[in-house]
Chains A and B, each alone.
Chain A
């Protein structure tokens, strides 16, 4: 489904740091999302995935700020946008789904009031017309008995139902890009599959782009056109989904795939990566993954190199890039 137009979203050298100083939490991150494609941003907790998403909509929490780089959405510079233009972009340009759908709904308002907000405020629809449209939107995301559901409050909905409502809200203003930040993590496995199918169906119908943020590679394989793997605030591997899943180049990507249900170990157990996920703050020197990397462990020569200097993001052919001394050495040797 990949299309070769100008990118819809382009992030260049994004750096996010705490206002009080210290090491940046996102360090020189670049990514592009083309119109109509699904880019999966994969990584452990704390790697900076969600911060990337919040940076794109300029909604970083208090105390964090973008200290460098460029973000362009549909040709417009997001970092210099006026507040009014930002609000327009957030509603009509970029929609978002989050991890805890029930918490995303205001407990004091009815469902239809919230789904109608972008219609009334963003599109200037009349209240009555907006409420009628809400029923359609809710039917589109397969909410049974939408008329009754529309009058319900958030606490009367199940997690899956709430995520459908959020989807209806996010799609109400017909955005060109949907940022889905772990949209199924908090849901039951069966409901996860329903939500993902629905997301895919809606995407196929309306052809918007999706930036899917997840740590779940089973989701990625079924869903994404391209993958960007993040570790400790940096992208370590990026490329077409099929290629990365079939032939991962970075040891971290390989380990992530072996950690998932897609590729259990010979004895049926799942691999776990030693150590815990580093955030961009606990970087000593060299490659950020080196302390946990199984390739580095047995090789003194590599150990010296990987802990000495951080590798650059080097292209391995069209559209595939990796940030690793070991695989770059192999590639040049071959």
Chain B
């Protein structure tokens, strides 16, 4: 009888729902929510252009051609030229490398710090939880712009300062989230089962807590990554981040401002770049979150 039950179970569960189309990539995207698929395709394309672009098109973001200044898009300059006659497309690719890297690094560092502290707080409780969560309460009230201004005043502007400024507050939401999740997981029976089997604390943290936290945390990470991109752009726009002549999307926006009427593409290009990149990353996070909360059939 038991054999019958398990055989029928096997038939329903080992057969994955095959999406239309072939190939591993198609299968990877096809089983997920459309926002995840669309977001990954767009973000993947953007990353490919940012990484491979300079090598493919041999672009020089610093080369000035003062006679060709403030030109509209053309065959030679795909997105036109700026006030010094530099290629806007080249600067967009070069600037995106800065903006996306800074946002990604600050998110990554924030996740590592926040998740470690959050899990430990949820699992250990006691004074560690109390102190770390009160620090979170304190920091979460301070906007990262204020911290950036403060740090720039001390250390001067630059991308390291920017990353540090974003990380100081950036880890707090992850800490709070993973503490909550860790409390949830800690109440699960399978944690009791592992304890009963004499597993060490560290083993349980690594083998049972982390895998159960990764999905929800990765969803939130992508959602916040989109938000971070906009913040990085905003801080650079204010002159608190990347310094000229290095291009950065926020910096390009600021530099384009005086020429808005003569060369609107100068502003539209970096603006759209920030918007589309942030949107695609947010879509990835949204899709992950929907897949996670969708009931299993």
Interface residues of A (CB under 8 A from B): 57, 59, 62, 86-92, 94-96, 98, 100, 103-109, 114, 117-118, 121-122, 142, 144-145, 148-149, 152, 154-158, 160-161, 166, 169-170, 173, 190-191, 194
Beta-carbon contact of A121 and B199 below 8 Å: yes
Rounded to whole Å, the gap between the CB of B239 and the closest CB of chain A is 46
- Find chain A residues with CB under 8 A from B150 CB: none
In the bound assembly, the distance between CA atoms of A59 and B196 in angstroms comes to 8
Interface core residue of A108, A145, A157, A169 (most chain B CB under 10 Å): A108
Pick the 10 closest A-B CB pairs, nearest first: A91-B198, A90-B198, A108-B211, A103-B189, A87-B198, A104-B193, A106-B190, A96-B196, A156-B13, A144-B3
Beta-carbon contact of A98 and B193 below 8 Å: yes
- Find chain A residues with CB under 8 A from B198 CB: 86-92, 118, 121-122, 173
Rounded to whole Å, the gap between the CB of A105 and the closest CB of chain B is 6
Beta-carbon contact of A104 and B192 below 8 Å: yes
Rounded to whole Å, the gap between the CB of A247 and the closest CB of chain B is 36
Beta-carbon contact of B190 and A103 below 8 Å: yes
Given the interface pairs A87-B199, A106-B208, A155-B296, the reply to whether A100 lies near B189 with Cβ below 8 Å is yes
Beta-carbon contact of B9 and A158 below 8 Å: yes
Q: Which of B7, B10, B197, B203 contacts A90 (CB 8 A)?
A: B197
Beta-carbon contact of B197 and A117 below 8 Å: yes
Interface residues of B (CB under 8 A from A): 1-3, 5-7, 9-10, 13-14, 125, 188-190, 192-200, 203, 207-208, 211-212, 296
Beta-carbon contact of A107 and B197 below 8 Å: no
- Find chain A residues with CB under 8 A from B203 CB: 117, 121
Beta-carbon contact of B9 and A160 below 8 Å: no
In the bound assembly, the distance between CA atoms of A155 and B13 in angstroms comes to 9
Rounded to whole Å, the gap between the CB of B179 and the closest CB of chain A is 15
Beta-carbon contact of A169 and B197 below 8 Å: yes
Chain B: CB-nearest residue to A108: B211
Beta-carbon contact of B207 and A109 below 8 Å: yes
Given the interface pairs A148-B10, A156-B13, the reply to whether A105 lies near B196 with Cβ below 8 Å is no
Chain A: CB-nearest residue to B198: A91
In the bound assembly, the distance between CA atoms of A173 and B211 in angstroms comes to 25
- Find chain B residues with CB under 8 A from A156 CB: 9-10, 13-14
Beta-carbon contact of A142 and B195 below 8 Å: no
- Find chain A residues with CB under 8 A from B207 CB: 106, 109, 117
Given the interface pairs A121-B203, A156-B9, the reply to whether A90 lies near B196 with Cβ below 8 Å is yes
In the bound assembly, the distance between CA atoms of A118 and B197 in angstroms comes to 6
Beta-carbon contact of A161 and B189 below 8 Å: no
In the bound assembly, the distance between CA atoms of A156 and B11 in angstroms comes to 10
Interface core residue of B2, B125, B212 (most chain A CB under 10 Å): B2
- Find chain A residues with CB under 8 A from B3 CB: 144
- A–B Cβ pairs within 8 angstroms, 7 of them: A94-B196, A109-B207, A117-B207, A144-B7, A148-B10, A148-B14, A173-B197
Q: Which of B6, B192, B193, B195 contacts A144 (CB 8 A)?
A: B6
- Find chain A residues with CB under 8 A from B193 CB: 96, 98, 104-105, 114, 166, 169
- Find chain B residues with CB under 8 A from A107 CB: 190, 212
Beta-carbon contact of B2 and A194 below 8 Å: yes
Beta-carbon contact of B197 and A122 below 8 Å: yes
In the bound assembly, the distance between CA atoms of A154 and B193 in angstroms comes to 13
In the bound assembly, the distance between CA atoms of A106 and B207 in angstroms comes to 9
Beta-carbon contact of B200 and A87 below 8 Å: yes
